[in-house]
Structure formats: structure tokens, C-alpha cells
Amino acid sequence: MHTRTPADVLAMLSRRYREHYGDRLVGIYAVPEFPFADEGPEKTEDDDVRAIEVVVLLKDPYDPLEEMDPVVDIAMDVTEEYDWWMGIFARHAAHNSDFAQ
């Protein structure tokens, strides 16, 4: 059985989001798990980060409620396909939002 790395998972996420959103996709950014938490990311016994967190930035037209399901569904599909039990936290934002800045 092939051991998946975070890079493998991120590459597949990137491909899937690009396939789904096409030119509306501005970028996919991996961020540390819980980047605004004071205590930092949780660690496993092997000192690996437990989860991958990504932010998907999209061009207009952008409706946060309409984007929620596809962004999460794609992340869940990759989680299952890659047997990535550590989890993927996927967020989305408009490319010109305060969050993206």
C-alpha cells in the first residue's frame, strides 16, 4: 500500500478544484491547521500535523452559500479516495475579500 503524503493530497485537491472551478479559481492555499490559534497545530505522536487546511479563493460571481457544498464535497472525496484519516479542513472566500487579503 502506498503511503500518501500531504503533498500528494494537496496535488489532488488542486487538480479537483481546478477541474470544478476552471477560470474562477484564483488559487488554493495550504495554511497551518488553525492558523489563528495561540497554541499552534495539534501534533501526532510522530510530531506530524494532524490535518490539512486549505483556502480556496474564487473569482466572482461568488456566493458563499453556493460554494460551501462543492468545496467541502471535493475535500471529502479526496479524503476518502486517499484514505487520509487525518482530515482536510476546506474553506473558501472571494479573491477580493478581507479574508483573502
| Residue 1: inside a domain | no
| Residue 43: inside a domain | no
Q: What is the CATH number of the domain that holds 55?
A: 3.30.70.1350
Domain count, the chain: 1
| Residue 41: inside a domain | no
Average pLDDT of the chain is 80
pTM, two decimals, is: 0.77
Residue among 58, 66, 76 nearest 9 (CA): 76
Evaluate the omega torsion of the peptide bond into residue 61 and state whether it is cis, within 30 degrees of 0: yes
- At residue 84, the pLDDT reads 80
Domain that holds residue 88: 6-32+49-94
| Residue 101: inside a domain | no
| Residue 42: inside a domain | no
| Residue 58: inside a domain | yes
Residue 49: band (very low, low, confident or very high) from pLDDT cuts 50, 70, 90? low
| Residue 37: inside a domain | no
Please give the full DSSP string across 3-47, using - where no structure is assigned: PP-HHHHHHHHHHHHHHHHGGGEEEEEEE-SSTT-TT---B-TTS
Residue 46: band (very low, low, confident or very high) from pLDDT cuts 50, 70, 90? low
| Residue 99: inside a domain | no
